[in-house]
A and B are shown apart, each in its own frame.
Chain A
């Protein structure tokens, strides 16, 4: 069975500082990992994904994530946070046991960037 965990409910950073939103995963095969962002009363926006290849994945809005197989982690990072990055972030893994390929989401991490 596939699962993801986001150990932090909330992350607070100052504008201009680097940010990290943590995600760990558990899969029974090759992991297909995704990050999404959700602004209030909106759907989810795709940020980036890891399928195979380079462990460092670059995505939208300056975000990147590092796939670490030994630590089973896929942390989301950004070198310099913006106030506009404040939102709810979800890590997800594809359920390889599901014919439709549904995504399994973490519980979400609320990122707050203060000026």
Chain B
């Protein structure tokens, strides 16, 4: 299957600082990428849909000024957690699809464990 690479896999940062997470589609072009947040042993919560060359679409309740998403190319989307606080500590996962059409599966990055101290 297609490969989605997410970096870093783990990051610890101080409260008040910003952290950038990268999501790359390695062997396909992704016009759309998705960013999720996951709490322990819970389902994935979609934060936003990242569209190449345009603004991201955020889900209700997600602060767009806090979670900045940039999708500058067909193979890279970034999520920046600005002014991070301990409550932002979580597991963040990105996913991408390589084709349009409802039948194609999404491929996921390996996730980023963010710990804010």
Contact = CB atoms under 8 A, between A and B. Distances in A.
A43 B43 contact: no
A49 B41 contact: no
A46 B91 contact: no
Chain B interface size band reads 20 to 34
A34 B108 CA distance: 13
B35 to A, nearest CB: 11
B37 to A, nearest CB: 12
A45 B106 CA distance: 9
Contacts of A90: 43-44
Interface size class of A (residues with CB under 8 A): 20 to 34
Given A32-B102, A42-B110, A46-B107, A107 B43 contact: yes
Interface in A3-25: none
B6 interface: yes
